[in-house]
């Protein structure tokens, strides 16, 4: 499902920017694995020590960090930044702050790809019996934040039926 998006993400990265920051990477499968198979160096960050442990076993050549994406302790810059099914688990103010911070971690012409909700709001769902928080800004605010922090939208699809209904953003960092 994600292959088309990952191919577009890699194609949007600068030629000399093969390092990818994967925020909310989980166990690294399938996203980080696909990127590594295409020659990208991956630094994955996830709040779950268990998930990072699985990633280290499955993909030992990458850098895996247990941590909160809101308090990143990583060495940039990166040619690609990915937050697939992770950014929307942060409160809206934290999303705004993180998107602003990513400007400083991105190389010129870096690719940024993330998923969001379809409208402004917060929802508490359930996954395997556990509460699961989701939040989203509205489309106009995501566009404004990206523009303010030096990113141009390359592609945006709301509720992509070919990707499990995900709303996907692919942006490129301006070179200026």
What are the structure tokens assigned to 99, written together? 């998107």
With 0.85 as the threshold, say if the pTM is over it: yes
Half-sphere exposure (Cβ direction) of 6: Cα atoms closer than 13 Å = 19
Strand runs (DSSP E) across the chain, as ranges? Answer: 19-23, 41-46, 63-66, 78-83, 106-116, 121-127, 130-136, 151-160, 166-173
In the three-class reduction of DSSP (H, G, I as helix; E, B as strand; rest coil), residue 29 is classed as coil
pLDDT tens series, the chain, 176 aa: 689 999 999 999 998 668 999 999 999 999 999 999 999 999 999 999 999 999 999 999 999 999 999 998 898 899 999 999 999 899 999 999 999 999 999 999 999 999 998 888 777 777 677 777 788 889 999 999 999 999 999 999 999 998 888 899 999 999 97
Contact present, 2 and 30 (Cβ < 8 Å): yes
Q: Say which DSSP state 61 is in.
A: T
CATH number of the domain that 164 lies in?
Answer: 3.40.50.150
What is the count of structural domains for the chain? 1
**What is the extent of the structural domain holding 137?**
3-173
Output the six-digit token pair for 169: 């953003």
């Amino acid at each position: 499902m994600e292959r088309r998006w990952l191919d577009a993400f890699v194609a949007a990265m600068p030629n000399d920017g093969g390092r990818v920051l994967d925020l909310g990477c989980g166990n690294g499968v399938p996203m980080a694995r696909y990127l590594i198979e295409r020659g990208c160096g991956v630094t994955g960050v996830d709040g779950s020590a268990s998930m990072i442990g699985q990633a280290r076993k499955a993909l030992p050549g990458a850098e895996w960090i247990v941590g909160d994406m809101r308090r990143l302790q990583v060495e940039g810059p990166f040619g690609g930044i990915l937050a697939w099914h992770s950014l929307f688990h942060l409160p809206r103010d934290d999303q705004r702050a993180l998107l602003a911070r990513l400007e400083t971690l991105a190389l010129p012409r870096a690719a940024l790809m993330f998923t969001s909700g379809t409208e402004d709001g917060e929802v508490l769902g359930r996954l395997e019996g556990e509460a699961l928080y989701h939040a989203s800004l509205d489309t106009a605010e995501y566009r404004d934040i990206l523009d303010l922090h030096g990113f141009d939208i390359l592609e945006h699809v709301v509720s992509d039926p070919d990707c499990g209904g995900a709303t996907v953003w692919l942006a490129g960092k301006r070179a200026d």
